[in-house]
Amino acid sequence: MTPKTFWAIIKDECKRFGSGSQRVTVTLKDIARQVNRSVTTVSRALHDYTDVSPETRALVRRTAEELGYVPNVVARRLQKQRADAVGLILPSYGPRLSDPLFGDMLSAAVEEITRAGLDLLVSIAHCPEDEVEPYYQRVGERRVDSVWIVHTRCHDARIAYLLERRVPFVASGRVLEDWVFPCVDVDYVRGMHSLVSHLAQLGHRRIAFASDSAELTFVHYQREGFRRAVRDCALEVIEDLIVEGSPTQRGGYDAAQTLLSRRNPPTAIIAGNDLMALGVMSAIQDQGLEVGSDVAVAGFGDIPLAETSHPSLTTVRLPTQQMGKLVGQMLVMSACGQEIPNPYKLLKPALIIRQSTNLDLWL
């Protein structure tokens, strides 16, 4: 027996009955030894190859079961040259993990990803500079096969970078450039149209829009949709009534205060998201006005709170689950190196009318 063989055996034994409390690691080699076959045959038996005899297959499977064999995915990944994982790096400027709509989308995506046997890696960028490089980094290191870009900006450095380097990715959100890449988004123009039409029908003529920064693509489309819808309803676009604020309750509160102090205040305020809309409602109430009668309010998203707030909030429901599911499926495909047949999906939102624009409801 050569020294080499000797040490190999010792090491194997150590691993098997390890230092006291260690878990044992069963490999293909262990099964092979047990059933007196080669590692190759064992591997094929476990993968249901046709060129292995039924008896051998049965024996191998049984032995694997008995020994508690669990395949080592890292070894498989190295051999297959695939990470079997996709990455999500949350941008530093939101959405936070705590955003309920994002959570919904994420859950649906995770479902699809894990169903396909892939892992989802989550990390967080600390600063804007930190946003671009890590994507490429993680793919280069073979940590992930594809990445998920969320919360796109109108001109998004991450997407330019990934396209240039040919890193597989899927974006939830569009960019304004005319680039082709896998992308899932909501038709905000359409959503805004239904909302503005609703308000115009109720007789509102001075409608305001308060939102996050228009650098974000979805805000851009909300604004564009807002302007177009106002004109479509034969109303005048009043630029003074289009304001920007942080995408929080406080941001909505402050924006509403600004709007209500205009010489000619609006009779309806649309917010870019539901949290801002709740802040808008607070501001209106704090001024002694009534939401729904004095000033109508509407949001975007349909978070759970929209239904239970006082008054309940009219909003544009975003198909978060559907988005997440689609993104997940597309991520799986792109991670597997497949072409994505129709890579540009635009989903339709739904107008949910509640008391904040129509106090007669459920009263």
Partner DNA sequence: TTGTAAGCGTTATCAT
Partner DNA sequence: ATGATAACGCTTACAA
Burial 183-197 (b: 16+ CB within 10 A, else e): bbbbebbbbbbbbbe
Q: How far apart are alpha carbons 347 and 189 in whole angstroms?
A: 11
Q: Which residues contact 245 (CB under 8 A, 6 or more apart)?
A: 210, 211, 212, 251, 252, 254, 255, 276
| Burial (Cβ within 10 Å: 0-12, 13-18, ≥19) of residue 14 | exposed
62 membership: H or E segment, kind and range: helix 54-67
Quote the least distance from Cβ 40 to DNA, whole Å.
3
Q: Please identify which residue in 34, 93, 94, 100 interacts with a second copy, judged by CB under 8 A.
A: 100
**Do the beta carbons of residue 315 and residue 277 sit within 8 Å?**
yes
Choose the contact partner of 287 out of DNA, a second copy, none; CB within 5 to 8 A by kind. Answer: none
**Do the beta carbons of residue 115 and residue 329 sit within 8 Å?**
no
**Do the beta carbons of residue 157 and residue 189 sit within 8 Å?**
no
98 binds a second copy (CB under 8 A): yes
* Complex with DNA: residue 68 or 304, whichever CB lies closer: 68
Choose the contact partner of 28 out of a second copy, DNA, none; CB within 5 to 8 A by kind. Answer: DNA
* Complex with DNA: residue 59 or 210, whichever CB lies closer: 59
94 binds a second copy (CB under 8 A): no
Binding residues for DNA, rule: CB under 7 A, are: 4, 7-8, 11-12, 15, 25, 27-29, 36-41, 43-44, 46-47, 50-53, 55-56, 69, 71-72, 75-76, 78-81
Q: How far apart are alpha carbons 170 and 309 in whole angstroms?
A: 35
**Vertex 334: Cα angle to 220 and 185 (nearest 5):** 20
Question: What would the x/- binding string for a second copy be over residues 304 to 343, using CB under 8 A?
Answer: xx--x-x---------------------------------
Quote the least distance from Cβ 11 to DNA, whole Å.
6
Choose the contact partner of 305 out of DNA, a second copy, none; CB within 5 to 8 A by kind. Answer: a second copy
Q: Please identify which residue in 194, 213, 257, 285 interacts with a second copy, judged by CB under 8 A.
A: 285
* Complex with a second copy: residue 61 or 228, whichever CB lies closer: 61
Quote the least distance from Cβ 111 to a second copy, whole Å.
6
**Do the beta carbons of residue 191 and residue 241 sit within 8 Å?**
no
Residues β-bridged to residue 345? 184
Token pair listed for 76: 């498989």
* Complex with a second copy: residue 197 or 248, whichever CB lies closer: 248
Choose the contact partner of 107 out of DNA, a second copy, none; CB within 5 to 8 A by kind. Answer: a second copy
- The site for a second copy (CB under 8 A) is made up of 21-23, 70-75, 77-78, 83, 85, 96-104, 106-107, 110-111, 114, 119-124, 137, 140-143, 165-167, 248-250, 253, 278-279, 282, 285, 304-305, 308, 310
